[in-house]
Amino acid sequence: MRAADAIVEILKREGTTTLFCFPTTSIIENAVAGGIRPVICRQERVGVHMADGYARVTNGRPPGVFAMQYGPGAENAFAGIASAYSDSIPVLFLPLSQARDQSQVFPTFRSQVSYASVTKQVEEIMLPGSVPAVMRRAFSALKNGRQGPVMVEVPRDLVDLDIGTDVLDYTPMRPSISRPDAQDVDDAAKRLLAASSPVIIAGQGVLNAIASAELVELAELLQAPVMTTVDGKSAFPENHPLALGSGGNTFNGPGQMYLYSKADLIFGIGTGLNRHPLTTPPLPKDVPIIHAVNDTRDLHKANTTEIALLGDARLVLADLIAAVKDRLGSKLLNRNPAIELAAERALWEKRWEAKLNSAETPMTPYRVMNEFMRVVDPAGAIVTHDSGSPRDQLLPFYKATTPRGYLGWGKSHQLGTGLGLVIGAKVAAPDKFCVNFMGDAAFGMVGLDFETAVRAGIPILTIVLNNNTMAIEIPHMKLSHDVHKARDLGGNYAALAKDLGGWSERVTDPGDIGNAILRARRKTEEGHACLLEFMTSAETAFSHRGGRADH
């Protein structure tokens, strides 16, 4: 058996059915011969984002896989892998490398060296007979502990060499998980019951552990409101009376009120509680913390922790549920925050009503998002944002109701990330209405990969919010814009999407937003990749801390 055939066979045994890729790498031909579908991107960075989006929706079972050539291909993929690393996404990265007798010679780009800082594990296949062992270690790293991208570098002179056997000795990896210390669990349960206003902050680890049901059960037992990180958005149903939405650079009103005015104990589950303003709520000072994660590097990292629980999020929650029930017995807790939260939610929504229902032209992006939420059931959709304004405008208002119904991100990501993510998501969940919201600047970075969705028959909907400028930069680029119009970008993106073979419309009438979205959805159901371009104002209002339409 040749080395390349062995790699493909292992991928198949691990459940891989799609290879996101860009030539030249012989792995593509071998994969197709083995029955794996290739999705050829237009640039490597976006191709990695496709594998990333796929892995988010499959929960890494199987992980996303991306392959490309050595040198320029590996160099161009770096940003995508860095993004996956920042969000702990299980992507198997298979760059071809130079032949082994040249791979160490200057100025060869050495992937294993350059990618060490943005991967969980890096290994080069040095001998054909070591393929099974290298791939076993790679999948073990992908499936165990904190998730993240793993790289296996494949020398181009090795792919056609015989591995020394006709029978491949490889068994798919099973993840190993652990539960927290029993005394720590009991201490945490006692502390959570003693608090008067505990709040739960849930991160992506809850999604990775498939633990949303346990999270809901614990929240209801404790009558504790739940906020998610941006990465963890959709881990808790946001139509639940105890939902506080996601916290980061923007919040909804109930989330801000409860976290900063009511909480006397924070329970962080499946989140590093990083001090990252775009994706994790800044924690109030002097509020004690119970922290549960599966990675020792996160414990005591950014905050003083009263009780630390180390283990898989689902097992942590299950053990806490049992401990809380044991302590409660037949008693009921004398607290019902849902009533207060409902009142605060109504006040906050009232403050934003004018923006959400505005008939102004150019239309505000908040009207676009509100109409989308009015006509689309979130249970049947997978939605994601892009960097900058679309992220900060959509996150507080969109209510994700099912796990992985929203792909949140933002710690270290380039403009245009959302397009690749939603293409990968649609491959993983073809029955879902998969939609990404992006600005015109983001589309300018990656827009040609819309043609990938067209060519590969991946019927996504891309919503471009086109205000012909970088509105978020208004306070930062005054002189350069006054003198050189440096903020302004432009283009007819609906026309471009049509020329690339997709279905598209440019919408200028706020009264037509909902119908346009429904027209686009019908076209995706007919198998078309679609783009809606909404001509919007240079909106700079955000629901920052305080809950108002702040500028």
What six digits make up the tokens of 106?
Answer: 């200057």
Any idea what DSSP says for residue 170?
-
* pLDDT tens per residue, range 53-68: 999 999 999 999 999 9
Question: What is the spatial distance between Cα 47 and Cα 39, in angstroms, rounded to a whole number?
Answer: 8
Q: Parallel, antiparallel, or unpaired for β 18-21 and 265-269?
A: unpaired
* pLDDT tens per residue, range 222-277: 999 999 999 999 999 999 999 999 999 999 999 999 999 999 999 999 999 998 88
Q: Please, what are the domains in the chain?
A: 3-155 (3.40.50.970), 182-340 (3.40.50.1220), 357-535 (3.40.50.970)
Say if residue 38's pLDDT is above 70. yes
Rounded average pLDDT over 166-189: 96
H/E element, 291? strand 289-293
Residue 284: CB atoms within 10 Å: 14
Q: Which residues, 6+ apart, have CB-to-CB distance to 133 below 8 Å?
A: none
What six digits make up the tokens of 68?
Answer: 């490309």
CA 510 to chain centre: 30
Q: Residue 348 in contact with residue 252, Cβ under 8 Å?
A: yes
Residue 34: CB atoms within 10 Å: 16
Q: Parallel, antiparallel, or unpaired for β 530-535 and 503-507?
A: parallel
363: nearest Cα among 511, 510, 515: 510
Say if residue 171's pLDDT is above 50. yes
For the chain, what is the mean pLDDT? 95
155: nearest Cα among 97, 102, 101: 97
Q: Tell me the DSSP string of 433-493.
A: EEEEEEEHHHHHHHGGGHHHHHHTT---EEEEEE-SB-GGGTTT-HHHHHHH-TTB----H
* pLDDT tens per residue, range 402-445: 999 999 998 878 999 999 999 999 999 999 999 999 999 999 99
Rounded average pLDDT over 285-303: 95
pLDDT: which is higher, 471 or 519? 519
Q: Residue 452 in contact with residue 42, Cβ under 8 Å?
A: yes
Least confident span in 104-113, 181-190, 262-271, 519-528: 104-113
Say if residue 207's pLDDT is above 50. yes
112: nearest Cα among 99, 100, 97: 97
H/E element, 91? strand 91-97
Q: Residue 382 in contact with residue 405, Cβ under 8 Å?
A: yes
Any idea what DSSP says for residue 250?
S
Rounded average pLDDT over 321-327: 97
263: nearest Cα among 280, 248, 282, 279: 282
Question: What is the spatial distance between Cα 289 and Cα 200, in angstroms, rounded to a whole number?
Answer: 10
At residue 228, the pLDDT reads: 98
Phi, psi of 523 (to 5 degrees): -70, -35
* pLDDT tens per residue, range 339-398: 999 999 999 999 999 999 999 999 999 999 999 999 999 999 999 999 989 999 999 999
Structure confidence at residue 334 as a pLDDT band (50, 70, 90): confident
Question: What is the spatial distance between Cα 307 and Cα 328, in angstroms, rounded to a whole number?
Answer: 20
pLDDT: which is higher, 98 or 292? 292
Q: Whole-prediction pTM value?
A: 0.96
Q: Which residues, 6+ apart, have CB-to-CB distance to 219 below 8 Å?
A: 200, 225, 226, 236, 240, 242
Say if residue 547's pLDDT is above 70. no
Say if residue 551's pLDDT is above 70. no
Q: Tell me the DSSP string of 388-411.
A: THHHHHHTTT----STTSEE---S
At residue 549, the pLDDT reads: 42
Say if residue 546's pLDDT is above 80. no
At residue 544, the pLDDT reads: 86
Beta bridge partners of 20: 39, 66
At residue 330, the pLDDT reads: 85
Question: What is the spatial distance between Cα 551 and Cα 531, in angstroms, rounded to a whole number?
Answer: 29
**3 state DSSP class of 245:** strand
Q: Residue 469 in contact with residue 439, Cβ under 8 Å?
A: no
Say if residue 447's pLDDT is above 90. yes
Question: What is the spatial distance between Cα 61 and Cα 54, in angstroms, rounded to a whole number?
Answer: 10
What six digits make up the tokens of 432?
Answer: 């879902």
* pLDDT tens per residue, range 487-515: 988 899 999 999 999 999 999 999 999 99
* pLDDT tens per residue, range 99-148: 888 777 778 788 888 899 999 999 999 999 999 999 999 999 999 999 99
